[in-house]
Structure 1
Amino acid sequence: MSGMKKKANHLAVFKKRTKNDDNAELSEIIIISARKSGNLNLSSRGLFMVPDRVWNINDLTEEEVRNLHFELDYVHENEKWWDQEPLKILDLSYNSLKTIEPQIENLSELTTLYLHNNLLEELPAEMGNLKKLNILNLSNNKLENLPHEFYKLNELHELNLKNNSIKELDPAVGDFIMLTNLDLSYNNLIELPIGMGYLVRLLSLDLSHNMLRELPPDLTNMRALQKLNASYNQLEMLPPLGELRKVETVILHSNKLTTFPDMSGCTLLRILHLADNNITEIDMSCLEGVGQLKTLTLGNNQIEIIPEEIIKLVYLEIFDLSHNKLTLIPKYIGLMPNLKQFVIDGNDIKNVRTDIIRCGTARILKHIRQDIKSTNMDVKEYVVSDASTNIYPDRYTMQSTKLLSLAGQNLTELPQEVLTNACKADVGTVDLSRNNLSALPGELSIIERIADLKLTSNQLTHIPEWIGEKYKYLQILDLSKNLLQSLPSNLGLLKYLQELNISFNRFKEIPDSVYDINSLEILIANDNLITDIDVSALQKLQKLATLNLANNNIGFVSPELGTLKNLRNLSLSGNCFKQPRQAILAKSTEEILAYLRNRIPQ
């Protein structure tokens, strides 16, 4: 039954429910369990009111005090029921609660509070005194307003207000400076306050299904934002979003946009949904520098022409232009190397037969590429092989995208002319993944301003020393899925390197030169043959925040690993050590590190 969807238990609506009924739900057994664990679960109990003792659950009754004196000398060490944890997690979800009593402020140690799927119409001002609250779920209630004191919860990391009736937010929402996830979807918001821009730690923002006509311009201050959903609103225009450097997904479908949103500068953008708007043109200047885009949906708009510059989007896999005003599928669509879904139905296409379109992407691309070959089409300096798939980008494209992509070409060597053009274009990203390279040619070193080098899924057995000497601006190096056992000795010269991925290779240890990269923040080394964790060496990497050593041959985890307090993501599963146990590894990184620190001999 655990796989079935949980349903709200609104029993109080359908039968007469007394205060005594609600109080009876909090039995002595539940109280004792909550005191031991700091976790009280009263979800789906049909509660109309919160049982009185919840607010003072750690206070001993007179009878308990008497029993305490009586049993003190006779109880086994493991049965000390009076040893308590303050309540930290309270789950009151899926009930019929209409109000929350002011006494909630008594639960001063509360870090997690679940109140979703109730009938709440208002919140007590005293809730603002829960200074340690990290996670608060108020979704699926009937809230229209939030008390001003609510905005004092400045330790909140996750706030879910989905599916209420909230009409406005106070500018004090900007005081939630620790927020990483904010869900305001399915409300009645007409506008957002300027203070939203102070939420600089926000990773995910869901504004969908409201009545917003515009987004505040300081939204672009959310430099950490990875996902923005503002679909199903009334948006007519947007501020330039190029400052959202880390955004990967932007969902803007079902609005009233007439112009293509300016995403230029969003270098990590992978997914952009713009369907169901009134956009008349694909303005490629709005996608300047968006070289990583994989999904672009523009169905149900007013677009008449596919611009030739679309071929700059070399990573594009899904391109939806259904139900627009297109009459031609241009031949340069056949030059897009990674296109897997090209949705064009619902247009009045003149140059490709309907039966071909009906057969889908593969048939459309085959038809167009045959047409390209038969007419010897020359689109600028693009070169199309006999297989119509081995496509080298030209200098014109690389100049615009700052990207050299030769991914998935089954190459054993690199074309000199392309490398020369890439050097002249001053590219910053080079993607040579999914080829058959057994060594890196020295000619690659002429592209000296590379910031991101992708070499995953090749046949590399060694990496040349010149990488450390030539690539002084390198920030990301992906060497995963090769045959490597060692790395160059001079990696310490890479003063800007933030991310190193050496997963799925043949390393028996983390190479010594890795510990010389002072700027390293992410080290991914899973699925190798590594046997030991050199904690003293790792301590040199003071900026290291992510360490993945999963699926290796590590037989022992030193408790001193717990002293690496800067780690935010630690993965150790799939190794052969017995401690920590799997139950510990399933917890958060912070809890794993605390566990290890507690095992350090005093």
Structure 2
Amino acid sequence: MSRLKGAAGRDTRAGFRTEPRDCTTSVPQGLLKAARKSGQLNLSGRNLSEVPQCVWRINVDIPEEANQNLSFGATERWWEQTDLTKLIISNNKLQSITDDLRLLPALTVLDIHDNQLTSLPSAIRELENLQKLNVSHNKLKILPEEITNLRNLKGLYLQHNELTCIPEGFEQLSSLEDLDLSSNHLTTVPVSFSALSSLVRLNLSSNQLKSLPAEISRMKKLKHLDCNSNLLETIPSELAGMESLELLYLRRNKLHSLPQFPSCRLLKELHVGENQIEMLGAEHLKHLNSILVLELRDNKLKSVPDEITLLQSLERLDLSNNDISSLPYSLGNLHLKFLALEGNPLRTIRREIINKGTQEVLKYLRSKIRDDRPTQSDSVTETAMTLPSESRVNVHAITTLKTLDYSDKQKTSIPDEVFDAVKSHIVTSVNFSKNELCEIPKRIVELKEMVSDVNLSFNKLSFVSLELCMLQKLTFLDLRFKILPEVLYRIPTLETVLISNNQVGSVDPQKMKMMENLTTLDLQNNDLLQIPPELGNCVNLRTLLLDGNPFRVPRAAILMKGTAAILEYLRDRIPT
């Protein structure tokens, strides 16, 4: 009873009140009863224009059922109720929150996103236990200074409001790890931000920032910095000293040069597309030892330096829509899983090769490296072998590139001679694309202990047999389908799935979550009418491409922010 007396101390009438009967019209008694036991109450999407008093007073007033039945079992004694710690009132029509908010001092999570709030009450300062506050997608113009009193706050989500400035003392939020201020009207970032020493993720995208303070580099724990869609012309050189930085988004700004990152040894993704960058030099690349994704699309680059080969960890390189006329042959030595070249005036690579996809381009570039070329005598005896079917197997590709290539033959099956040509050689890549295959060749199982890349795109596969499940090292698979084959969910080693330009109508997020190694999922240009929110739980995805589908949400603005933003958006909409 001592806890109840403490609550009554805040309201002298608390011990004599029962819940207003009209509260049941907006909040079912059963929901309140369950909340007293669990400490969690979800009122999302109930068309509320105000928060009922019984919600604020849930831990203060005597519940109505106590007056109806004075005989309580051991599990129903209302005086032993649990303090409310999680309150979700998102997706309603709330225009304001009253100071009665102070009656819920035990709250650790308060979610009010997607309402019509123009302000927050000063009483918010009394929620000293609050760890997560989501007020995104409202109409906030200012934040109360009292918000700086929330010293235990770890996650603060203010995206999609109308904020023009940040209150003084914001740096007092010393426990803050995740801060989202995207899609507001901010023109400056306070220098005091640098004191947010616990911050791991900072989203400043879609504002009106013309510069970043050099002091931001003092955030020694910051891993994710998103400054997409601003007015940045330069990046302070001090940014290069952020040792923990892993993801940096600078798309859609006014940058003329690529920053250098000598101290950012952990940087895994750098997105600088849709700027005005004209040059890419060795000095920009030599320190990017851990980079996995480099996105340079829609700039003014004229060339790619040979030093691109320093990026041995690089998996995705987007150079589309630049002014690049040639590529260094050494680019073929990278282990890229995705290379985008569309929209460049390339003269050294035929369009038909580019259209065949990443692995074909890389193989072409490797074949042009002088040291790897066969001698003239070799070219007669080793380059190809004529088969009875009048097909040709590139033996040189098998021996030097470890690739079994039988693509663009318009054949309904793969001749045995193709597999026989492997003999005792090691083959890590198989390309049977652009044929008339209706099923997976059964003999592909013979390569199960060594092949990692399989390209079966542009065939007539209506289903995928279990042979693929037996490929023990398979990490890359390129297919074309009308439906997503069930067998794909059973290949735990898969890292990349490219199923764009198909007619796929749905995906199973629960089964996809089991694909723990999946980092790239390309679902562009399919027939997806909706994206299941649970897909947001696939947190290992580094690249999720959804453009060109007929779904309405997520909106295009979310898709443009990149994979992390899409996954977060989806997670926020998972029913609680």
Q: Give the TM-score taking structure 2 as reference length.
A: 0.59
Q: CA deviation at 1:35?
A: 2.0
Q: CA deviation at 1:61?
A: 4.1
- Secondary structure in 1 matching 2:241: coil
Counterpart CA distance in 2 for 1:80 and 1:312 is: 67
**Corresponding residue number in structure 1 for 2:244:** 246
Q: CA deviation at 1:213?
A: 1.2
Match of 2:298 among 282, 300, 317: 300
Cα gap change, 1:374 to 1:98, in 2 (>3 Å): same
- Secondary structure in 2 matching 1:342: strand
- How many residues align? The count is 371
Query: Is 1:41 matched with 2:54?
Result: no
Counterpart CA distance in 2 for 1:320 and 1:119 is: 39
**Corresponding residue number in structure 2 for 1:387:** 400
Query: Is 1:231 matched with 2:228?
Result: yes
Match of 1:317 among 310, 315, 318: 315
Q: CA deviation at 1:364?
A: 2.1
Which is worse superposed, 188-197 or 218-227?
Answer: 218-227
Cα gap change, 1:435 to 1:215, in 2 (>3 Å): farther
Q: CA deviation at 1:167?
A: 1.0
8 Å CA contact 1:179–1:199 kept in 2: the answer is yes
Cα gap change, 1:193 to 1:257, in 2 (>3 Å): same
- Secondary structure in 1 matching 2:169: helix
**Corresponding residue number in structure 2 for 1:269:** 267
Matches within 5 A, 1:414-425: none
The residue type equivalent to 1:236 in the other structure is E
Match of 1:96 among 73, 87, 93: 93
- Structure 2 unaligned blocks of 5 or more: 1-19, 375-396, 404-424, 428-448, 452-471, 474-492, 494-515, 517-576
Query: Is 1:111 matched with 2:117?
Result: no
Match of 1:213 among 184, 202, 210: 210
Matches within 5 A, 1:41-440: 41-61=42-62, 71=70, 74-240=71-237, 241-336=239-334, 338-373=335-370, 387-388=400-401
8 Å CA contact 2:141–2:163 kept in 1: the answer is yes
8 Å CA contact 1:25–1:51 kept in 2: the answer is yes
Matches within 5 A, 1:460-539: none
8 Å CA contact 1:209–1:232 kept in 2: the answer is yes
Cα gap change, 1:23 to 1:220, in 2 (>3 Å): farther
- Secondary structure in 2 matching 1:159: strand
Cα gap change, 1:264 to 1:410, in 2 (>3 Å): farther
Spell out, residue by residue over 1:276-311, the C-alpha distance to the aligned partner (whole angstroms, 9 max, x if none). 000111133234432111111101101112112111
8 Å CA contact 1:303–1:325 kept in 2: the answer is yes
The residue type equivalent to 2:282 in the other structure is M
8 Å CA contact 1:232–1:254 kept in 2: the answer is yes
- Secondary structure in 1 matching 2:248: strand
Q: CA deviation at 1:97?
A: 0.5
Q: CA deviation at 1:66?
A: 6.8
Q: CA deviation at 1:82?
A: 2.7
Counterpart CA distance in 1 for 2:229 and 2:22 is: 42
Q: CA deviation at 1:375?
A: 8.0
Cα gap change, 1:94 to 1:255, in 2 (>3 Å): same
Cα gap change, 1:169 to 1:345, in 2 (>3 Å): same
Spell out, residue by residue over 1:4-54, the C-alpha distance to the aligned partner (whole angstroms, 9 max, x if none). xxxxxxxxxxxxxxx997673234433332222222222222111111222
8 Å CA contact 1:36–1:81 kept in 2: the answer is no
Cα gap change, 1:341 to 1:40, in 2 (>3 Å): closer
8 Å CA contact 1:410–1:435 kept in 2: the answer is yes
- Secondary structure in 1 matching 2:240: coil
The residue type equivalent to 1:83 in the other structure is E
- Structure 1 unaligned blocks of 5 or more: 1-18, 378-383, 391-408, 412-433, 437-456, 459-480, 482-525, 527-602
Q: CA deviation at 1:63?
A: 7.5
Q: CA deviation at 1:272?
A: 1.0
Which is worse superposed, 158-167 or 77-86?
Answer: 77-86
Cα gap change, 1:36 to 1:236, in 2 (>3 Å): same
The residue type equivalent to 2:299 in the other structure is N
Counterpart CA distance in 1 for 2:324 and 2:28 is: 67
Cα gap change, 1:374 to 1:156, in 2 (>3 Å): closer
Cα gap change, 1:37 to 1:374, in 2 (>3 Å): closer
Cα gap change, 1:27 to 1:319, in 2 (>3 Å): closer
Counterpart CA distance in 2 for 1:141 and 1:284 is: 45
The residue type equivalent to 1:301 in the other structure is N
8 Å CA contact 1:23–1:50 kept in 2: the answer is no
8 Å CA contact 1:134–1:155 kept in 2: the answer is yes
Cα gap change, 1:355 to 1:48, in 2 (>3 Å): same
8 Å CA contact 2:254–2:275 kept in 1: the answer is yes
Counterpart CA distance in 1 for 2:163 and 2:210 is: 16
Q: Give the TM-score taking structure 1 as reference length.
A: 0.57
Which is worse superposed, 354-363 or 121-130?
Answer: 354-363
Counterpart CA distance in 2 for 1:353 and 1:307 is: 20
Counterpart CA distance in 1 for 2:64 and 2:364 is: 85
Which is worse superposed, 173-182 or 284-293?
Answer: 284-293
8 Å CA contact 1:208–1:233 kept in 2: the answer is yes
8 Å CA contact 2:366–2:372 kept in 1: the answer is no
